[in-house]
Amino acid sequence: MLVRHHEKGWRIISHATHALLAGKIGNCIKRTGVLQSHWPETLTAIINHDDYMVDFSKKNYLTEAGTPLDFMMDGGDNKDAVIHAKSLYKETLQKSQWISILISRHLDFLYKDLPDKEMKQFLDKMHEKRKGQRKLYAINLGMEDRLYNVLRFCDRLSLIICGEEVPKTGRQLEINSSIDGETYYIFQKEDESFGVAPWVFAGDTVEIDLEYRILEQVKFSSNKELEQCIAHAKVQLQQIILRK
């Protein structure tokens, strides 16, 4: 989950909500070439790319001080990473090989530098599997790269927005180098909407929204208490506008 300080306590956004926002962003991107093919599958991969990331029954989400743990502070361990990767990948194989291509690329992006033999063997297996999956859909590696770069762009832009990382001064913040080899930037405009350059969306304005929760309790005695507090917190809606 994404945790940020708030004047009333903590602002909490789940990984599933972040991924849904990534999907909303992706659905507004101008689609050409391979992006016009099997778009529901591509969009599903974007929305599902962070599934199985949070499970209160299996993992602690509190810092040593008893405050909610942001995912960037969570080093995790190799075993958890392997379980996450295999669980997510297994689901994609049952749903769609197209989706599996994109999710496996993302798992490779997340875990390729993990010093774990089991993970390396798993990533190698996915790499070989993608050859047959590309053949099934008659796409080449370049097309696969373009598809995955859309996921990367949407994922990173969503994380920036959810994490409230955009400077208030109008200064540009790099999103990443992704779609069509371009490097993208986000900045805040005077009307508090966001600009993205170069513009990659189909229309001149993108209007989407994002759910979040505010926890007024600052510290928690247990993981279970945090889970229950999140479950009972009022859901609020943030309106997000991107303008060309």
Domain ranges of the chain: 2-243
pLDDT of residue 49: 93
pLDDT of residue 25: 98
pLDDT of residue 105: 98
CA 135 to chain centre: 27
Q: What whole-number distance in Å separates Cα of residue 52 and Cα of residue 84? A: 6
pLDDT of residue 58: 72
Q: What whole-number distance in Å separates Cα of residue 29 and Cα of residue 25? A: 7
Q: What whole-number distance in Å separates Cα of residue 159 and Cα of residue 155? A: 6
Amino acid at 150: V
Determine which helix (DSSP H) or strand (DSSP E) holds 159, and give its type and residue range: helix 141-162
pLDDT along the chain (244 residues), means of 10: 93 95 98 96 96 73 90 75 92 97 97 94 98 98 98 98 93 97 96 96 97 95 93 96 97
